[in-house]
Structure 1
Amino acid sequence: MVQVFNHEALLRARIELNLTQEQLAAAVGVDVRTYRRYETGAVNDPTEGFSVRHPTRRRMIERLSAELGLPGDELLIPRPTPGPAPPAAPPQIEPPRALAPEPTSPDAPPAPLPPSPPSLRPLHVHALQRARHFVGRDAILAELRLWVDAPRPEPRVLTLLGVGGAGKTSILEHLLAELGDAPREGGVFVWSFYEDQRIEAFLSEALRYFAAGAAFPPGERLLRLEETLRAGPPHLLALDGLEVVQAEGGAGRAHGEIVDPLLRRLFCALARGLGVARALVTSRFALADLDPWTGQGSRGLPLSTLTTSEAALLLRRWGVHGDERTLRDLSATSGGHALSVAVLGSYVGGLLGGDPAAVRAATLADAALDDPLARRLARVLSAYASALPPAERDLLARLSLLPAAAAPDALLAMIHGGGDLAGAMLGWGPAELRRGLGRLERLGLVFTSPAPDPRYSTHPFIREHFRALAPPDAASTLLQRGPLAPGSISTLPPPPPDPLASAPRRAPRDPASLDLHEALLHQLLDAGRARDAWDVYTRSLGGFTHLGLVLGEMSRGARVLRAFSTIEPPTIAPPTIEPPTIAPPTIAPPTIAPPGSDDPQNLPDDLPPLVRAELAYERGLYAAALGDLAFARRCYEAHNTLGESLGASIHLTTGLRTLAYTERLAGAFSRALHLIDASIALAEREGYTSHLTRGLALRAILLHDLGEGAAAAQGFAAARAHGDRLAARRGLWEVERMLALGAWQEAEEATRSVLHQSARLGWQGHTSHAHALLGRATLERGDLGAAAEHLTLARQWVATSGEVEAALRCHELAARLALAVAGETPLDGAAAGSTLARATQEAEAGLHLATLCGFAPARTRLAILAARAALPRGAAIAATAARAALASADPGDAWGRLDALSWAGALAQRAGDPAAAQLLQQAATLRAQLQ
């Protein structure tokens, strides 16, 4: 009997596991081309079927069986007997990268709970500071216990709010200690942003934990994590210190806004509902991004200060003597601030013999200051520092110099370095270091992670105070000995003369090297060497050209450049060069933001003005790629203001054009046209031919967006008259117009030319854009298989970078493809329902992303696709959704309005709505205007 390889079973299993062809090929150890031969059935010989006599084929079957959980007899089956030819199989559509949100209507029935997967042990990526003596907080702990154990908690995101040192981390740690480390139905993932602010590392670790060790490319991690949480049991994310990645307000950012777009999107998804997952967060700031879900999806839980009785009890547990009134009077000087009371108790009980009379309480109170609690704590810490033995004070100061929790070997390496780095610890060995750390831990000044790999850290308030006690030479010496990556336990290398002298000249690619370079850059900034830090970013890390365009490390690049924001705002000198005489759009000077803000113009004084402009511009590039269009606009405006003041016309030309491009993504077409006109005028005046052609092409597509077809055609012709050709992004803009006009073949030919050039030059973003347009062109001429292949290729860059603009194109193409498969391919009821469900998932996932990030034209297109996919649920439902999409369409988006009018009319007609005729007539009128 002849046997064949069951490629259909392989395809079903891969899609059920939500794997791409690339991922499964890598899992079984073959290249994608080889894998595709198995999935398409090309390995089956027409005569002999599939032979397993070759050991390579046997190993392949074994690996596929193990990876997919399929028995061998399902992959190798007897050849079917000949019969009537079956209908052609529908083209494979990649599984959606994000699922549709849960229904938010209060009348909607709750979705059934997912089946229980294997239990998970809690994962403490970072140790949280444990309160040596914990008192009070009974009511809040009782509320938190009920919330953690609730099958479907409301809210999904709960934030413990309080000033620094109020006890937020201690409460969270106490609750987690009660939960224990035994396996649970839902996982518990503990992360401290105090210890590691790298969002890409957070997403990677969380996904590895919740998805049972699965590894995904950076651009896929957020959506894969959302999918995993949505489909899983009652997982808990315990996240400490969120304020370090939140804005303090100013420069257009709301107070408490999460500065990283990926983390912001995760929290918004959690608040909307990701299955039964929940997040418990500590922060000094309320989560401004979650205001739309306040009450149901998100809630802040403010912490009160300790009562006088609780504070007195805490002092007594620290060994302070005296009657109840004496202890209450002493605790009153700290205002019930939990950390202040604890440090005061440790100071009096540990260093003053427990005698409250030995401390002058009056010096601890200063209610007239703006931040009395912090000032009181600072006074206690100053007294503490004076009373500590010199070696222990130096140990705490050196520990505070390190960027994150430190292992003993890193501290020993500092001691062995001698000089200011060792300080009073000179001559200490491992035993003395253990005793010193143990004493500081007993005093509550440091805390440690559990053995066998203990690491030591301290509260951010204590770290900031004692860091200032280290001599400046100690920080400089630490800098020269090389960067310490977050969580590094390696010993410090011998010091080179200068860390920049040994910096590699080839931009790194592996995450470990990138981490080390980033740590070096932060240390240079801490040492006041902003220009050297900029050199590390541009030369060693390669700037946006390498970090963004090649590696897709958008979050890292945005974080690195955010570190250049200064504590004190710089003084901006008036321009010494007359600005261009053209009439550019009015660019209001950015408002100088308060200290510590995320203002793109709030940069170190020692950076030259032109470098400041370049830095602001590159911040905008990262922000736009991550979907933060509002902040990207502010960055480009800051760049343009500096460029204008310096008379740097070529920078201003580029900045105006890039800002116009960004405004187009946001749907502000008239504003974009005003900006690009200014850019073109400047390019013409200065003779920048290449910039002129790019500007003319962008102006032409903007005119097309606005419905001015003849002017758009003239604009593209003008660009070609200046020597331009269909190339790069400007060539793809002209293709977009061809597709809108129905010139499918012409669009396909032009796109392939751009694709060839982009692939040859390594422009992955342009390549993804080209594949998305090719997918649309081949879809429109009926080649569904080719469209599916182009979708897969377009998504490769999205998987690498997570670029939102590219992701939205892929969601749109995937939804269109699924609708085409359901409408044009013979499918049984179950397959048709699955395909339409995929169209809904793709459209709604893209719609949510476009709405959250402010991509208005994409939002309109995806809303219409979601309405079309809703037709099987009822014509009235689909028509209502289409009318909502029409209502939200921007009046200036002529082609979006045409799409919305056409489908709103068609679906209203299906629903028997008398308004259908009017809608269709409006669509016909607009279509005639657009020719």
Structure 2
Amino acid sequence: MAQRFNHEALLRARLELDLTQEALAASVGVDVRTYRRYESGEVNEGGFSVRQPARRKLLERLGAELGLDPADLVIEAAPEPPPPLAPPEPKLFRPEFVHTLQHAPFFVGREDILAELWAWVEAPEKREGPGVVALVGVGGAGKTAIAERLIARFGDGPRPGGVFVWSFYDDERTEVFLAHAVRYFAGAEAPAGERLERLCAALGSGPPHLVVLDGLETVQAAGGASRAHGELEDPLLRRLLISLARGLGAARALVTSRFLLGDLAPWADGGARTVKLGPLSATDAERLLRSWGANADGDALARVVRASGGHALSLAVAGSYAGAFLGGDLCPLDPLDLAEAARDDPLARRLARVLSAYAAALPAAERDLLARLSALSAGADEDALLALASASPRVAGALAGASAEVLRRALARLERLGLVFRAGGDPPRFSSHPFVRDHFRSLLTVAPSAVQAAMTPPSEGTLIFAPRQKPRDASRLDALEEVVRALVAAGKATEAYRVYSQTMGAFSHLGLVLGEMSRGARILRLFGETTDPASPATSLPFGWRLSLLYERGLYAGALGDLVFALRSYAEHNRLVEGTSETSHFITGLRTLAYTERLAGALSAARAHASRSLLLAESAGLSTHVTRALALHAAITHDLGDVSAAQAGFARLVAMGDARVARRGLWEAEHLLALGELSEVVEMTEANVAACERLGWAGHAAQGHVLLGLAVADVDPAGAERRLSAARTWVAVSGEVEMAARVHELAARIALARGALFEAAREALTGERLAEACGLALFRARLFALGLEVALARGDEEAAERAKDAPRRVLAEDAWGRADVLHWAGLCLASAGDAALAQRYLEEALATRERLGHPGQDATRRALRT
């Protein structure tokens, strides 16, 4: 039977003894290059034999040094694999137009931009150039028209990379976008909590995919107390675009927005590019007017061009109006005063005067049709419009009783005038530009909700505020979300919040059970700022305003937007401080401290936990005392005051507090860091069992991760079972803290098994997730783990990452800093940078000795060798 060298056993033994490749090579008397051939398995190429005396002696020396039987280093080789199959044909993708972008009948003045974009998406080397290009300009500048012309060039035939088109004007639900995109690029469904990760993996798999996102300003903040102008309001979308800017294979994203993408500013010099659309030149503006039917001398054309400011949509509508109703004569447009502008958006708002003239000139049926069509952001098909025509005359207006033929003629005329366009679908839907939609919606004499109700069939069942069964079906949730939206728009904020909290189940059902984090966050945004007197939130009862702010923080924290979560909790605490709601204030302080801990603001976190503890003690609230004390002890541990942390946990034991839920998990993390593995396993197994009985799935998942980390080195199969249980929760909730923990455990298991490529991938994915979400503590841990894996792989680039290790970890994070500096020192030593390696290892040793770190002996050995 053929033999092979057991390089996995060699690697595992070296790591268990915390030896470098250089140290072990020196101790057995070979150069490090020879040693690496054994550890990598390269010596197995062409078969492995121990007949050579020098090889037998080397195996004996390795066994003696590592405490292994030399016979364990030589095992039977697996049978020869069958000949490789022919490589599969590369998958081809047909473009997926989930939404149809509005086509500009006359495309003028943006040809150079279009040519640059085409060269970008069709470049021979797809990995060069920015991953994200943003077309930014005022509404009506032509952003969507450029994107539509670009994707039209692809046609609808199969191609090596996918083309996926989504319009946030039609549907601003990020979770629905992710579900469609995963299905298209990955070819499979994915649970809510895994969609973003699956999508990033599919986009990064190699093919030159293109994602087109139109109307991004609908999911960007307009600026206020909570968010900066242009900040993406959905953290999942922000993480996707950041990943694309960093680089996901050959994948690209083209986005259009009225606002600059501030979230991508760090990548402005490479991974992200902004193309700002200015006004059309005088020549191009005149060409556009003539294309739409304007027929005038040069002076008349020039006057309209100057008045419009070169705004593409204003020019198109003015030309269309002159061609349709004025015989091409532009002179009557002068009294419309195109130069009159609103305060906030001069170019875009000049359009209102022309649209007012248009509305007056249109026949009543066409005007009312366009106004009612504008009540639905996604447009409507013929059946919906026929249902509207059958509604009461008050709702249908001049369309009352209209036949299908009348509707078709009216739609065709509005389409020729450029006021509506076919939005795709089967049967086709009709929609309009957002500015046209906004203007004609203002002409409605009834509430938009009445028009929507007439156009769409009623949802099944009767809405009650406290149903026996909370809704789970997506269509039912969509209907209820529209009810909330309509009630807020009608000024009935209290009724709207009751639908969210009682009918939809609020965070405890939407977030924790269904994983509908994006939906919950989006619904709460409808209520606006609690600090704005004109906002719907200010009309809510006091207790509901507190809940709104607190649950905003819960959704944001789960989605990985720690900055917004901290703002929400801080505002919650300002609102409740000094009131009789002491327990709410104590909880708010503790949750603020918990989130600050994740973000790495450890001193601030300890201060808030201390205040929460003092208030709970003075109020005699024993449950709050134990929770605040446990969190305070955990933060004290992070700061490196191990004796104070031990005293805090000992006080909890003396109080008779059960080690259940987070209180027990925090103490287990403390013990795990100190190497007390058997105690961690014993107490956490009991904790997990209790949490599962109580239905606390998130706590149970964290316990599974701790159990996996405790046994990964000695029982990778058992750790894998724990990993699977934790992943189940992440798939449901998408909670980023747990996702980072899962990546850490997965990397640790892969390292124990010698699957170094997988370990490196998991560590890097987790580190990037932590960085994108501001999880400073996890970023340090995963960075250290990545260095450990890189050292085991002999990665030549590890030393470059290791050089700036101190910058990558917070000074307050004692445990993270000690581990990062230890592994950075070893990586630098392996690369021959002895001076910097010694400096890092000396600091690591000093910190590890102060902490009582179980790895301090390994650092001492590294300094000696």
1:525 alignment counterpart: 488
SS of 2:801 mapped into structure 1? helix
Segments of 5+ residues of structure 1 without an aligned counterpart are 1-83, 91-113, 483-489, 572-594, 596-601, 823-834
Instruction: Output the CA distance in 1 between the equivalents of 2:613 and 2:92.
Output: 62
Instruction: Output the CA distance in 1 between the equivalents of 2:600 and 2:342.
Output: 50
1:218-273 Cα offsets, whole Å, 9 max, x none, are 11111111111111321111111111111233436343222211111111111111
Residue 166 in 1 paired to residue 131 in 2?
no
Q: CA deviation at 1:741?
A: 1.6
- AA in 2 matched with 1:620: G
Equivalent residue in structure 2 for 1:443, among 398, 407, 417: 417
2:527 alignment counterpart: 564
Segments of 5+ residues of structure 2 without an aligned counterpart are 1-71, 79-86, 853-865
Residue 860 in 1 paired to residue 822 in 2?
no
2:721 alignment counterpart: 789
Instruction: Output the CA distance in 1 between the equivalents of 2:673 and 2:431.
Output: 59
Q: Is the 8 A contact 1:240 1:282 kept in 2?
A: yes
5 Å-filtered alignment, 1:302-701, equals 302-361=276-335, 363-366=337-340, 369-450=343-424, 452-471=426-445, 473-478=446-451, 481=453, 491-493=456-458, 500-501=463-464, 504-565=467-528, 570-571=532-533, 603-644=536-577, 646-701=579-634
SS of 1:300 mapped into structure 2? strand
Q: CA deviation at 1:154?
A: 1.0
1:69 alignment counterpart: none
Instruction: Output the CA distance in 1 between the equivalents of 2:846 and 2:425.
Output: 74
Equivalent residue in structure 2 for 1:900, among 806, 820, 842: 820
Distance 1:87 1:680, change over 3 A: farther
1:17 alignment counterpart: none
- AA in 2 matched with 1:881: R
Q: Is the 8 A contact 1:898 1:926 kept in 2?
A: yes
Instruction: Output the CA distance in 1 between the equivalents of 2:77 and 2:458.
Output: 61
1:777 alignment counterpart: 710
Instruction: Output the CA distance in 2 between the equivalents of 1:929 and 1:730.
Output: 25
1:817 alignment counterpart: 749
SS of 2:141 mapped into structure 1? coil
- AA in 1 matched with 2:474: P
Distance 1:143 1:160, change over 3 A: same
Q: Is the 8 A contact 1:340 1:376 kept in 2?
A: yes
Q: CA deviation at 1:130?
A: 1.2
2:129 alignment counterpart: 154
Q: CA deviation at 1:892?
A: 1.6
Instruction: Output the CA distance in 2 between the equivalents of 1:476 and 1:131.
Output: 30
Residue 925 in 1 paired to residue 846 in 2?
yes
Q: CA deviation at 1:502?
A: 8.0
SS of 2:164 mapped into structure 1? strand
- AA in 1 matched with 2:817: R
Q: TM-score when scaled to structure 1? A: 0.79
2:28 alignment counterpart: none
Q: Is the 8 A contact 1:333 1:362 kept in 2?
A: no
SS of 1:850 mapped into structure 2? helix
Distance 1:880 1:668, change over 3 A: same
Distance 1:495 1:417, change over 3 A: farther
Q: TM-score when scaled to structure 2? A: 0.85
- In the alignment of these two chains, the number of paired residues is 770
Q: Is the 8 A contact 1:879 1:904 kept in 2?
A: yes
Distance 1:544 1:367, change over 3 A: closer
SS of 1:132 mapped into structure 2? coil
- AA in 2 matched with 1:618: E
Instruction: Output the CA distance in 2 between the equivalents of 1:868 and 1:219.
Output: 29
Instruction: Output the CA distance in 1 between the equivalents of 2:73 and 2:776.
Output: 46
1:145-166 Cα offsets, whole Å, 9 max, x none, are 2112113251221111110010
Distance 1:907 1:356, change over 3 A: closer
Q: CA deviation at 1:845?
A: 0.9
Q: CA deviation at 1:300?
A: 0.8
SS of 2:308 mapped into structure 1? coil
Instruction: Output the CA distance in 2 between the equivalents of 1:431 and 1:451.
Output: 20
Distance 1:493 1:920, change over 3 A: closer
1:258 alignment counterpart: 232
2:175 alignment counterpart: 200
Q: Is the 8 A contact 1:627 1:853 kept in 2?
A: yes
Instruction: Output the CA distance in 2 between the equivalents of 1:136 and 1:900.
Output: 54
- AA in 2 matched with 1:539: Q
Instruction: Output the CA distance in 2 between the equivalents of 1:262 and 1:211.
Output: 18
Q: Is the 8 A contact 1:701 1:734 kept in 2?
A: yes
Q: CA deviation at 1:882?
A: 4.0
1:807 alignment counterpart: 739
| Overall identity of the aligned pairs, in % | 54
1:634-680 Cα offsets, whole Å, 9 max, x none, are 01011111111544211111110000000110111110111011111
- AA in 2 matched with 1:896: G
5 Å-filtered alignment, 1:176-325, equals 176-212=151-187, 214-251=188-225, 253-325=227-299
Distance 1:511 1:681, change over 3 A: same
Distance 1:682 1:603, change over 3 A: farther
Q: Is the 8 A contact 1:860 1:886 kept in 2?
A: no
1:62-110 Cα offsets, whole Å, 9 max, x none, are xxxxxxxxxxxxxxxxxxxxxx9997999xxxxxxxxxxxxxxxxxxxx
- AA in 2 matched with 1:147: W
Distance 1:87 1:225, change over 3 A: farther
Instruction: Output the CA distance in 2 between the equivalents of 1:182 and 1:920.
Output: 58
Instruction: Output the CA distance in 1 between the equivalents of 2:602 and 2:181.
Output: 40
Q: CA deviation at 1:624?
A: 0.6
1:824-852 Cα offsets, whole Å, 9 max, x none, are xxxxxxxxxxx111111111111111112
Q: CA deviation at 1:448?
A: 0.9
Instruction: Output the CA distance in 2 between the equivalents of 1:115 and 1:367.
Output: 60
1:699-735 Cα offsets, whole Å, 9 max, x none, are 1111111222222122123334444211111110111
Instruction: Output the CA distance in 2 between the equivalents of 1:639 and 1:377.
Output: 41
Instruction: Output the CA distance in 1 between the equivalents of 2:524 and 2:74.
Output: 58
Task: Please provide the CA RMSD for this pair.
Answer: 2.6
Q: Is the 8 A contact 1:707 1:895 kept in 2?
A: yes
Distance 1:86 1:752, change over 3 A: farther
1:385-436 Cα offsets, whole Å, 9 max, x none, are 1222222211111111123222222222222221422112111122222222
Residue 891 in 1 paired to residue 777 in 2?
no
Q: CA deviation at 1:906?
A: 4.2
Instruction: Output the CA distance in 2 between the equivalents of 1:776 and 1:287.
Output: 39
Distance 1:88 1:729, change over 3 A: farther
Residue 122 in 1 paired to residue 95 in 2?
yes
Q: CA deviation at 1:618?
A: 0.3
SS of 1:280 mapped into structure 2? strand
